Amino acid sequence: MKFETNDRVSIELGEDGVAQVRLIRSDKMNALDPDMFEWIIRAGRALHEMSGLRAVVLSGEGKSFCAGLDTASFGRPPKPDEPQLTERTYGNSNKFQQVATQWRKLPVPVVAALHGVCFGGGLQIASGADIRVAHPQTRMAIMELKWGLVPDMGGYALWRGLVRDDILRELVYTNREFSGLEAQEYGLATFVHDDPLSEATAIATQIANRNPHAIRGAKRLANKMADGKTDELLMEESIEQHGIMRTKNQIEAVMAGMAKRRPKFEDV
């Protein structure tokens, strides 16, 4: 099944339930212009509604994952009816945050494959994934202070628990460039690999072969871990497990009933 959105993002769902999501503005190193924001959000919405989805691989076509904000396309003054940044237009996020936070909000695991450059908003988008596989020479940076801005695409919420506090502060304050190897050391990359897309796909395929109810439950618990109090997390864990066990028992009961009703070989 293929779902293609304009000339910015493509989605292809395999028979194994793994969706390959690609940023396809390769002539601009997948830099984020207004259309890219719109179509990434639409892609996220399509994934939420996609039947049979078990895992997602997020990558960029061409020479890079994402070069960050296409500053040339954001020089115009805002439209009079354009929402303020402080307006929550997508649940707990504004539009610019949603392109990064939506990957964390997806009910299934997301594995990002990073190569080339991964700057600014591109790094925030990658940070929304559950797992990041980077080429060791990927060029990465938290760029916003270079333009006199603060990171504002959900980065601080997504980096919590990934990066040591003082390292994150230094990377933000200096907008220093670092490699995929350094990103693994800092916590911004999970693995490094010479073929990050192949490795990300292998990980997603392994995830897709697990119990889909348990995988979704595990992601819900992981998302609550940073904010939840211990008592709340213990209860949420029990609720998830109870639901999975009940579903599993129901399936086993149906299968057992079918086996009883199946005619014996000698009766056929």
Complete domains list, the chain, with CATH: 2-208 (3.90.226.10), 212-262 (1.10.12.10)
Question: How many whole angstroms separate alpha carbon 17 and alpha carbon 50?
Answer: 10
Q: What is the pLDDT of residues 112-140, one digit of tens each?
A: 999 999 999 999 999 999 999 999 999 99
* Centroid of chain to Cα 260: 44
Question: How many whole angstroms separate alpha carbon 120 and alpha carbon 145?
Answer: 10
User: Which residue type does 62 have?
Assistant: G
Mean pLDDT, rounded, of the chain: 90
- In terms of Cβ atoms closer than 10 Å to its own Cβ (0-12, 13-18, 19+), residue 142 is buried
Q: What is the pLDDT of residue 120?
A: 96
195 contact partners, CB below 8 Å, separation of at least 6: none
| Secondary structure letter of residue 141 according to DSSP | E
> Which pTM was predicted?
0.89
98 contact partners, CB below 8 Å, separation of at least 6: 41, 44, 89, 90, 91, 154
Give the neighbor-by-neighbor strand order of the sheet with 139-141. 117-119, 139-141, 178-179
Q: Three-class SS of residue 153?
A: coil
For residue 261, name the pLDDT band (cuts at 50, 70, 90): low
Question: How many whole angstroms separate alpha carbon 18 and alpha carbon 153?
Answer: 26
Neighbours of 95 (CB within 10 A): 18
Q: What is the pLDDT of residues 176-212, one digit of tens each?
A: 999 999 999 999 999 999 999 999 999 999 999 999 9
Beta bridge partners of 111: 57, 131
